[in-house]
Amino acid sequence: MRCEPWHRLCFSSMHYEELEIAVTETISAIVEQHRTGKMSPADTVARSFQRIRDHGDPAIFISLRAEAEAIAEAKALSGKDPALLPLYGVPFAVKDNIDVAGLPTTAACPAFSYAAKQDANTVARLRAAGAIVIGKTNLDQFATGLVGVRSPYGIPKNPVKGDLVSGGSSSGSAVAVSAGLVPFSLGTDTAGSGRVPAMLNNIVGLKPSLGLMSTSGVVPACRTLDCVSIFSLSVDDAMLALNVMAGYDSADPYSRERSVGPITEFPAGLKLGVPRKGLLKFFGDTQSESAYNTAAARLVALGASTVEVDIEPLYETARLLYEGPWVAERYLVIRNLLASQPDAVHPVTREITIAGAKISAADTFAALYRLEALKQAARKIFAQFDALVLPTAPTAYTVEQVLANPIELNSRLGTYTNFVNLLDLCGLAVPAAMRADGIPFGITLLAPGGKDAMLASVGRVFHADTKMKVGATGLSQSPLAPLPKALGKDEIALVAVGAHMSGMALNHELRALGARFVEATTTAPDYKLYALKGTTPPKPGMLRVDANSGSGIQVEVWALSPASFGKFVASLPPPMSIGNVTLADGKIAKGFLVEAEAIKGARDITSFGGWRAFMADTKAAV
């Protein structure tokens, strides 16, 4: 794969002005445009490159793919079934500490740069779903910082308010989405890097549960805390990308058997935690304080109730992050570079990480013991409510202010983010208000790991209710898409595993019986998936196994009337059978299973996470 710095892009002879048609910028809308032929994936990719040129900020991207190569990849999608590609032709950007095959990975340090030989797991999953990589984005060097100014590749300009920092460390990824250059991007989040830039750029930032997405192919910051994050213009877009990337990865020691779960309507009886009076810190920023109070009141108006809680244990946890072994983790990644070429490391990054060399084993265990005690305290706090509502950041600073006081102001921006990964929480940062001074303000919803979908169910409704423009694009939010209806009183749920899923070869059999799509979800981690031999069309077999050797499999739930269910089961050919399938949320439904005898000689495809991903990969290889 060839790449080129942004400034080497030259104008093509194509008439790009013809591509600037009115297209809603959500992922789902772009995919619909592509599937209906109203716009081609190649045109959408070309439009992203043109927007990058027009925007004219050389500090957003560290490297870009060769435009012709990206367009050729988009054109090649025409040979695939669009129904199998949930991200059909959608362009995206990748933070430059995440590998993209054929492009350099720099972590914003030229001396560290290497040529990535294969895609990171998350990038590979996105590309298998039809998404097109545009380029690699700038960051605070080695993902150390929340400000976006610690890079030899320049300081990305905040497109919402030019004198503000863009936030970091995922600075370029957030700016690229806010400016409308791409509809979504990948960042990373260790101490708030997927949330603080979201607020400062007026976009959504999703920090998933630890281990939900693989970190294989990601340059570590703190390996025990790192996760890949998502920036987008809407919560629904972030969740669509999350569902594509989520899944166990045996190559990642920190990958976990976790599932996303379904988005629901705004939860009835929702109880939200808010800090007790006097515990919030805004560092004198009264506009942010007022915006937070207004956001909390908005959530109450939407139907939530609030309970005041003590968040001092969270503040104490945050202080551990830069006082203990997690600094040593950062040092471990670049200790050889610090020893051989110390001047190659940004001065502030060097000052922070070099302290990790002094952390003793005794210091490490003392910090780990204290963290366990704080986790106990946090569990008691979170037992009082469904989600905690905090400012994403207490205030905002200009580039000039941060350059003059780089460490203290950076620390302030992490007031409400630094403790999150240490406590294994998931988080969703959403825009809340545009202040009178033109500075964006946002809130973050936090919950224990595994509750990503619940946060999305709240955050999507809150964001829509603000009626704010998205990013710096000036575009209005798209109306919230209707959610699948719950199972009816007289309906029977059927779990589809393979060719009967939406867009697949045998889905018409379900629709002919009046079946209704309910949701896409995953099974409990008790199953293996096999590609059966000699079946036409190709079919998988899902086998229940011991939980220690199984995995969650991506499936769909369909609803049928009792009569239709009976007809369907009666027509099912061997070796397929219907049995009880346990879903990730613990619910049990009838679904496709296969007997152990039928998998002899079959290929184990569990690692793909589901039949759709396997089929997309198979077609890509043909």
What distance in Å separates the CA atoms of residue 621 and residue 255, rounded to the nearest whole number? 26
DSSP 234: S
Query: Is 469 an active-site residue?
Result: no
* Contacts with 36 (C-beta within 8 Å, 6 or more apart), sequence order: none
95 annotated active-site:
yes
Could you tell me the two tokens for 444? 């973050």
Angle between helix 452-466 and 235-245 (nearest 10): 160
Tell me which residue of 568, 617, 613, 612 sits closest to 592, measured CA to CA: 568
Contact 529, 553 (CB under 8 A): yes
- Determine what percent of the chain falls in helix, strand and coil, rounding each to the nearest 5: 35, 20, 45
Cβ–Cβ < 8 Å for 157, 149: no
Contact 441, 391 (CB under 8 A): yes
Q: Please, what sign has the CA dihedral across residues 412, 414, 420, 422?
A: negative
Q: How far, in Å, are 535, 544, 593 from residue 601 at the CA level? A: 13, 17, 17
Q: Which residues face 576 on adjacent strands?
A: 594
Which residue in 169, 171, 173, 214 is the catalytic one?
169
Q: Choosing from 28, 63, 95, 255, which is the catalytic residue?
A: 95
In degrees and rounded to multiples of 5, residue 195 shows phi and psi of -120, -50
Q: What is the DSSP letter of 549?
A: T
Inter-residue contact 415 to 281 (CB < 8 Å)? yes
DSSP state string for 256-270 = ---------SSPTT-
Residue type, 71: I
Separation between Cα atoms, residue 35 and residue 482, nearest integer Å:
20
DSSP for 296-323, written as a single string: HHHHHHTT-EEEEE--HHHHHHHHHTTT
Look up 161 and say whether it is catalytic: no
- The neighbour count for residue 115, using CB atoms within 10 Å, is 12
Q: Are 193 and 218 in contact (CB under 8 A)?
A: no
What does the alpha-carbon distance between residue 455 and residue 468 come to, in Å, rounded to a whole number?
19
Helix axes 286-301, 452-466, angle to 10 degrees: 110
H helix or E strand, kind and range, residue 616: helix 611-621
Neighbour count for residue 326 (Cβ, 10 Å): 26
Q: Which of 40, 185, 193, 234 is catalytic?
A: 193
DSSP state of 577: E
Q: How far apart are CA 383 and CA 373, in angstroms?
A: 16
Give catalytic residue positions: 95, 169, 193
